[in-house]
Structure 1
């Protein structure tokens, strides 16, 4: 059982996480909660409800005697991909669910929160504590997805709506020296056998476990991310028209979708602009490039006669440079570590079943919730995905 101090800390983490999600929705109008632009994004209303469903389904329903679910339909509507839990609504149709209302979804959140607070006033087992911690981290993931999904939806509006004037997220951070003002510096990592994977008592996802040894040859990794100015050079040098820089699958994606720049970029009167959550802005050339796919990151690296780091190289080198502005594409396919095993039940569906046709990203982004990431964190998306705050770090 947990001590009183441990329970109080967990209760505080739960409260802060739930409140932060709702604070992200504070700038929204009621109309903003509903639309779903494409099948890989979800509306804010769905994120609010799904994260609540996780606590209800995984914790309250199974561990609180006589707990009554808020609404019997919500398990179907707000299950995401958990096959062992039961049927679920069609993902691409989340934006057509005008009912339940936004008000009802907030009632649902507050109902579940009240029951969770009661649960967290008493002794709880280590198993329940671990599930609550997983639920908190799950909600933090959806906080970032809420922003990236909302940005995609807003970007399709020709009047370039402003989510919040101080929420640019892709401009140069004041704490980082402008990249165009100095030459790229490189870190030398020596050939050796290194240990990879999470090695602390603190929380991690199951895909970070199974710490193991990995032999790495010597390499050099850039201290900073590729800037918008550097990426514009790639564009203007014909990077999107030169097939030799591209993987065949990436070349097909580029041509089939008429891709000619990072997501949200457009050229107006000879100048590059991009849509941000603070509205349409002139591209900040000193800032790190964002919203590029793995295909684009790999093509840029090929153009520079360099490459992307493997996820193992990135982890070994991570304590030598600052990271956290952008998720960084690696050259590693998302696969299980040696010894990885899928947990029983719905929790086992969290990561393992996605270990195919995806590439690993490391680090964190400006949209990642505070204290959510770590050097062993393994994010993953399909190689064509651009809508996350993803960037490029080179290796030679």
Structure 2
């Protein structure tokens, strides 16, 4: 209810302002279309003892026969499927392991209940396997299920519950960053509400926890980065869509309006959230750097540079190289690489304002149209600049490999 009141208030205030959103150019958040290559997914393919693999195949056959005799939902089968799943993991048979985990957990849920905590260990193992297989949709479902099971309604989160919650939000945010927002407005609004709710619970009142507050603030800030870049083009595409007749073009979708309200108020929302977190947590260099990055991204460079200069004098190594923004907000879990996605190595300058200058592909990586698309994406990025130990912004030369994310 509080969220609804906030949106209605912001809507009424925005009606008093001129419609200048179309004139605002927002940098592209790193990870939406291009990202630096920092290490690839490592396959679990391995040489397997043929005798051990044959024994495993026989065990699978025995369980299938037992299922035929006892019935698919007999309570004894759940543990047997899970044992086969763990054995398949050890043998490097990730796809088989994922299938056995699914059968075993389905049986456990039918016989012991959907909310039984005894399934959490096996569920976590299944999630690890789904990451290896690269099944993003199934991974999203199981991360959400584990989060609902362990921490959705918890007043105070344990370290394990917080980790499960962050894994869920990180995956949802990473998938949102690298996919189309078309016809997903309700899903995106729900994610905004969910993250705002956990930020409020972890940063205010009796249930406030400093570690959880900082972690969830980062996730909400990441979502705001995505929103300020993606929402306006999305809404404009909706307006231009041929699916709408001229008579209906003037009728605004309520969800479109809510997304625009969030997008137009995102900068101040981020500032208030970070300042409130600083009030709760106290002096914290990490939070102050997040606040400076957020201001820098929106070209509020004066105040941001003061923070960069102070922190660079205290920790020069942190500012030796420029970094793409946003930086350090979510844990990027590597999934199996897609061979069709282009990658290339570029050399360029990052100016004292964090802009890309003199971008060119390194010799040997200019074949195909991939590098051209990457070049266009890199030019839209905004960097936190390199800063000297004396606190001065530096223009530096960078050579870095990037790849497409969609």
Same fold at TM > 0.5:
no
TM-score normalized with structure 2 length: 0.27
Higher Cα radius of gyration: 2
Relative to its length, the structure with more helix (as a share) is: 2
**Structure that is richer in strand per residue:** 1
